[in-house]
Chains A and B, each alone.
Chain A
Amino acid sequence: MIEILIHGRGGQGGVKASLSLASAAAKSGKYVQSFPEFGVERRGAPVKAFNRISDEPIVIRSKIYNPDHVVVLDHTLIQSINITEGLKKGGWIIINTNKKPGDFKEFCKNYKVATINAKEIALRNRLGSRAAPIVNTAILGAVIKVLKVSDKESLAIAIKEFVPVKREENVKAAYEAYDEVIFEGEA
């Protein structure tokens, strides 16, 4: 079983990303859980969403304190919160940023870093505005490429299921992220 924590800001669609990821993984034969940080969500404030993905039925229903991997929807969060809190050594940090993995020297010692310019991809596909690009679907392409928890076709079906508008554009963005994610070594 792997546990994933998605860091985002209220309104950025972290919960929807978590749901779509769970659905994609389920479609490729996995047992899944997807849940938000229980309670209240405020626009712009840091929020978390969680995933468990497993080949066996999942019995644990407590929160995730020690994720195997983290996904960061908004790179500005790195300054304001400790995104590696509880993260298991050797885990992946997948960041939406225009920088390269090597630029995150502070993380490279204990963790593996993958970067994806999801904002650029979103704008290229006319998803959201420059001020508020919709990155939550694009980044999933990078997540399944790096973490291998699902496949592209399953992800496409899941995105279409959870995204009410611009379904094709969202799928295209995810596929582009799948191809453009930058990381080193074996996922």
Chain B
Amino acid sequence: MGKVILGNHAVSYGVLVSRVQTIAAYPITPQTLIVERLSEMVADGELDAIFTKVESEHSALASTIGSSSVGARAFTATSSQGLALMHEMIHWTAGARLPIVLANVNRAMAPGWNIWTDQNDSLSCRDTGWMQVYCQNNQEVLDSIIMGYKVSEQVLLPTMVSLDAFVLSHTAENVDIPDVKLVDKYLPPYKPEIKMDIDDPRSFGALSSPDNYMEFRYKMQEAMDKAEDIIIKEGKEFERIFGRKYGMVEEYRTEGAEIILVVSATIASTARASIDSLRAKGIKIGLLRIRVFRPFPVKDIARVLLNKKKAIVIDRNISYGKSGIFFDEIKGAFYNIEGEKPKIFGYIAGLGGRDVTPEAISDMVNDAMRKDKPEKDIIWSGVKL
């Protein structure tokens, strides 16, 4: 039944079997265990990589950008405040079209100082050109690292793999660690067409005038469009080799459903229990888990939500002055699409690591069922007034 490992160590093993060549990182709770384990793997000779200790997260990603630029498969990990400190380099990574994979342990932003989970850290990187994956269990964490490199190295955009603080990072469960030889079959060595090479000198990230800057941005968007197809294709290929299925989204009991619950990350896992109990009461409800947030799965969302009565979105994040971020994106995705659109309810829940139980999820569903339509864009779940 696999090995029982923490979500953080699932990241480390994902990096190990992906034969990553460089790791640069700075410790931060609750991420530290990822790179601690990696440093042991490198010290023990288990992983043939260069491990660089740096003085800040900004330097961690800058160093990772450097090694990726010379053609190495490069990795870094961080969380919350650390990701925020990286932000300049986050933009740089995507603009430089480097296929770096970064693991972010989703942790709430301070103040108030908080080490528990929510998604505002990574969602603040929404517009940087990184692909973003939100995981629901430790197996998916490990697999997403491998698939991250496979996809990133084809489309030349970086991938951020997010896992919930503590709920995954410090929770141990059964994980199948794939054999590295099998991973080799799936993930060939990274061979970039253009890299920093003294035998083929070029200048990188140099001045890009109004004459051509826009074209570079056009190409990034083109790559994001392409990424959706490649994520689906590589998900199928992954399933063929490893027997586990991943796509842009995941559906659970959506057949015959009139109401769809839309959730990401670990709340989506817990929500299955709620769906089962609601279904047992005769409520026609199904679950749509958004796995990939960038590129945004507009087609899948339209396919699943069109002609349904209601959609209930639970966000463990908030865009102040607007609404939950997934809610906003889902609503926006529909505007120009033809068809019978559902009433969309947006709940904010679980900020700063507040526990989201199956009962709390059922309460949100019951609340939405009582109402004809949402009165406002934000409905707070469980906030003490």
Check A-B contact in the complex, CB < 8 A.
yes
Is A58 an interface position by the 8 A CB rule?
A: yes
Inside 8 A of B167's CB, which chain A residues have their CB? 35, 38, 61
What mask results when residues 21 to 55 of chain A are scored 1 for a CB within 8 Å of chain B, else 0? 01100110111111110110000000000000000
Residue of A nearest to B271 (CB): A59
Q: How many Å from the CB of B261 to the closest CB on chain A?
A: 13
Inside 8 A of A36's CB, which chain B residues have their CB? 170
Q: How many Å from the CB of B204 to the closest CB on chain A?
A: 42
The answer to whether A59 and B1 touch across the interface, beta carbons within 8 angstroms, is no
Given contacts A39-B116, A60-B358, contact A22 B170 (CB under 8 A): no
The answer to whether A39 and B174 touch across the interface, beta carbons within 8 angstroms, is no
Complex alpha-carbon distance, A38 and B107, angstroms:
12
Is A63 an interface position by the 8 A CB rule?
A: yes
What mask results when residues 72 to 88 of chain A are scored 1 for a CB within 8 Å of chain B, else 0? 00000000000000000
Instruction: Count A/B pairs, Cβ under 8 Å.
Output: 72
Inside 8 A of B1's CB, which chain A residues have their CB? 26-27, 29-32
Instruction: From the candidates B116, B172, B270, name the one contacting A59 in the complex (CB within 8 A).
Output: B270
Q: How many Å from the CB of A162 to the closest CB on chain B?
A: 9
Instruction: From the candidates A26, A27, A29, A62, name the one contacting B358 in the complex (CB within 8 A).
Output: A62
Is A142 an interface position by the 8 A CB rule?
A: no
The answer to whether A31 and B174 touch across the interface, beta carbons within 8 angstroms, is yes
Stretch at the interface among B142-150, B326-334, B338-346, B349-357: B349-357
- Which residues of B come within 8 Å of A, CB atoms? 1-4, 115-116, 136, 164-168, 170-174, 266-267, 269-270, 272-273, 353, 355-358
Task: Given contact pairs A29-B1, A61-B168, enumerate 11 new A-B contacts (beta carbons under 8 Å).
Answer: A30-B1, A32-B1, A32-B4, A33-B173, A34-B4, A35-B171, A38-B167, A38-B170, A38-B353, A59-B270, A63-B355
Chain A to chain B: the 10 pairs with minimum beta-carbon distance, closest first: A38-B166, A35-B171, A62-B357, A23-B4, A59-B272, A34-B172, A26-B1, A61-B266, A61-B270, A26-B4
